Amino acid sequence: MNLVRWEPFNQLMSLRQAMDKLFEEAFITPSRAFGGFGVAVPIDMYQTDNEVVVKTALPGVKAEDIDITITGDTLHIRGENKVDEKIKREDYIYQEHRYGAFSRSITLPAGLDTDKAEAKFEDGVLTLTIPKSEEVKPKSIKIKAKGGKK
């Protein structure tokens, strides 16, 4: 009869390696995990009484590498975060920043005057301001009270 010494850490290590691989594929290189859709561009959109504001953080991207278009009620933001050519790939210890082309499209609310949209890019944050058309701006209606006797 042969006795085999049980080494629980050998099995634990394989579980750890599997978890490392899962996290690496899902979070470090999500384009592979999600079918190559590229880099996700997070967007915040809010409205005031007079405008809709769209903000997105694009760290490391230059303003000239961003393209913004509005077609109908759809906003398209496209661009490219270019890799630093001075650093060789094999010299990286960690490389978590995303490089390459990105795009994002969202549907805008109705009633915007897209011809008067303005874009500002400051400190890696793109801010797009789109004024509301006069028809959709909130209007205040004054109430006329009738004086009455009891």
Q: Which two tokens stand for residue 34?
A: 């999600």
The structure's pTM equals: 0.62
Whether residues 24 and 73 share a domain: the answer is: no
Whether residues 31 and 46 share a domain: the answer is: no
Of the candidates 59, 50, 76, 69, the residue with the CA atom closest to the CA atom of residue 133? 50
Q: How far apart are alpha carbons 43 and 33 in whole angstroms?
A: 21
Of the candidates 90, 130, 93, the residue with the CA atom closest to the CA atom of residue 112? 130
Which pLDDT band holds residue 39 (cuts at 50, 70, 90)? low
CATH of the domain at 87: 2.60.40.790
Task: Tell me which residue range forms the domain holding 52.
Answer: 38-131
Whether residue 100 is predicted with pLDDT greater than 50 in this model: the reply is yes
**Is 57 inside a domain boundary?**
yes
